[in-house]
Structure 1
Amino acid sequence: MADRLDEYRRKRDRAKTPEPWPDGAPEPGQDDLFVIQEHHASRLHWDFRLERDGVLVSWAVPKGLPRSPGVNRLAVHTEDHPMEYLAFEGEIPAGEYGGGWMAIWDTGRYETLHWNDHKVEVVFHGAKASGKYLFQNRHNPEDEGDWTLRRLDPAEDGHEDAPEFLEPMTAVPGELPPAAEDADWAYEFAWGGARTMLCVSGGRLTAHDGSGADVTGRYPELHKLGESLGSTEVLLDGEIVVIRDGRPDPEGLQERSRFEGYDAKRIMKHKPAFFFAYDVLHHEGRPTLELPYLERRALLADLDLAGGTWQVPQFFEGNGEAVLGAARQHGLGGIYAKRADSAYIPGEADGTWLHIET
C-alpha cells in the first residue's frame, strides 16, 4: 500500500526546511483534530488540515474562512500532511516549496457529517472556526484540486460581512468651534487627497473612490495592506495622497488617476500613492457607524496600519487653533474639526464635521 506522505516528502528537501519529516508510514488516529494555518507564501492563504486515517487532509483557501452562509471560497486540495503539522509554525525558506511565514490561526476538534470524494461536510469546534462547513469538489477536469468551501449554518449572532463601499460622510465649510467648546472636538489635517474607501476581507483589498467607482487597479502599492491585516476584515475611510517634496502634490495625484494595471505599476515608482486612513466603518463583522468618533479612532489605532504606503495620520483632541496654525505653517489647505462624540452618517453632512480653510 502506498505511503500517503510520499508526495509530501517528494516536494520538500529535508535538509532545507524546518517542516516535520516523519520517517514511517502514517498510523490511523481518532479523526477529529484540525488546524488552520495562516500562510504568507507568494500569496497569502489559509491552509485547512483535517485529521483522516493518520494524516492531515489539506486544502489551501486563498481568502480564508467564510463567516456567512452563501459565500463560496475557492479551496485547492493539496497533498496530505503529517500529523506533526498540527503544531507547526515557522519560516519556510524562500525558494522552497511553500516558502514563507506560517502561523497557527486556529486549532481544535471537528465532527464529520459526510466524507467522500465529492464532498466533505464537517462541524468545526475551534476558538475562531466554529460552525458547519462544506468542502465541495467541483470535479473540474482542468483542475482536479478545484474545490470550494462554504458555511452551511447561520453566521454568528450579530455578524455582518463588510460592505465594499458606503457613501462617504462629508464636512461642511465652517469656522473653528468657540473656545468654550474646543474640548468637545477633534482635529485632523486636510491633505487635499482623493476620498477613498478600502475594504479588506480575506487578506484581499478593494478600493472605491468617493462616487463608488472601483479604483483598486490604480494603486498596486496598496495591495500589501490587505495581506498585512491577515484575516482581519475592515472597511476603512480615508484619502489617497501623492507626496512631493514633503507636501501633497495635486498634479501628481491627478496623473495617478489616469493609470491602472501595468501602467500604474510603472508610474508608482516615481509618484507613489499613500493611503491616509482616518476612520473605520466596519470591523470584524460589526458595523461601527454608531460608535463615537473617538471610539472609532481607537479601533483604527489598534489595527496598527503603518506600512510603507499607508498610515493613520495623527489627530488632536482639542487645541484647534494650534492645529490650524500648524496646517498653515506646512502649506496645507485646512483642517477638519469633528465632534468627538459624532457618529458616522453615510452620505450626510450634518454639521458635526467641519472643514476649516487656512
Structure 2
Amino acid sequence: MHRISDDYPSGRGYLAACTLGLPTIGTRDAVALDLERWAAGSASAADYSATVERARGHAATLLGAAAEQVAVGSQVSVFAGLVAASAAPGAEVLCIDGDFSSIVAPFLARGDLRVRHVPLDALADEIRSSTAIVSASLVQSATGEVLDAASVSRASRDAGALLMLDTTQATGWMPTDELDADVVVCHAYKWLSAPRGAAFAAFSDRAVAELTPHTAGWYSGQDPWASCYGPDLHLADGARRFDVSPAWHAWAGAEAALAFAASLDQRDVHVHDLALANAFRARLGLEASDSAIVTWPDADGCDLAALTAAGITASGRAGRARVAFHLWNDEEDVELAAAALGRTGALAATR
C-alpha cells in the first residue's frame, strides 16, 4: 500500500514544516530537471510560462478560487504592500498583536495609517464601522493559534472593511478553500513544500476593483507576451493584473509541489497532522488544540536545544519552542520528540 510519507525522500525527526517544508521526490526531480534543461540551453520562457499557469490552477484549487482570481508573485509582503498602498490616508487598519511582520509592516511603513493591534481572540469584536482594512494570519506563526475566520469575515462584511488573510501557515495542512476574504495570500515554501520565492494570492471582485497594481510590469497584462513594451499600460481584467514576474526556477518546483498538494484531500491531511500534534501535546501535558503547530514556553531555549541534540529539527519563536507535524511524520516522530524532552513516562501513560 502506498503511503504519502513514501513521497518524501526524508523526514524522520523533521518537525519544522512551519519553518521550511520538505520537497516530495517529484518536486526534487522537477527542480533537478529544470536545472539540467537550463544548463543544456533547452529551457524556454514559453515553457516556464506554461508551468506558472499550471501552478496558478493548482493554487486556485487550494484556495477555492478560479484561476482568473489568482495572482502569482514572490513574497507575501508584496501582495500586502499592494493593499497597504491602496489605503486612503488616515484609514484604520486592524491587525493581530504579534502577527507576522509581512502582513503588518507594509501598513506601518505608510506612516499615515491608523494601525491598531488587538489580541487574536478579540479581532472580530474589535472590527468597527471605522475599520477600513483587517489584516490577519489564519494561523499564527509564533504560537500556532488558529483564527476564527468565519467570525472575522462576518464582522468585516458587516463593517464594510476589506479583509486580507495570510494562509502561509495554514494552506497545506488545513483546508483553505472556503475562506470568505477579499485577499487571501500564501507563500508556498512552508506547508506546501515548494521552493522559496513562489507566492500567490486570490483576489475578490472588490479587491480587483479597489486595489491599484503598483507592481505592474510586463507580466501584469492578460497576455504577458503582448505587454512587454510601452508606451501603453497593459493590465489584465482580473487578478492577473497583480502578477509579479515569476522567478522561473522557483516555479518549476512550485508547480510540482502545488500539484501534489492539490491532489490530496486536505481534510484527510488535516486529520493526520492534528492527530500527531495532539498526541505530542498529550506527552507534554497540554490540552488538545486545533493546530498542527505545537508551541510551549522555552525562554532559555533548553527544550529546543534538547530536541536539536536528539537529531530533531524544530524551531523557536518569541520565547517559545515550536514543532510542527506534517505528511512525512508519523507516531514515531511523536515518540522521538517526547523522549528528547524526557517525557517517555507521559508517553507510556497514554498507551
Q: Above 0.5 in TM-score? A: no
Class of the TM-score when normalised by the shorter of the 2 chains? under 0.3
Using the size of structure 1 for normalisation, the TM-score is: 0.19
More strand by share: 1
More helix by share: 2
The structure whose RCO (Cα within 8 Å, separation 6+) is larger is: 2
**Rg larger in 1 or in 2?**
1
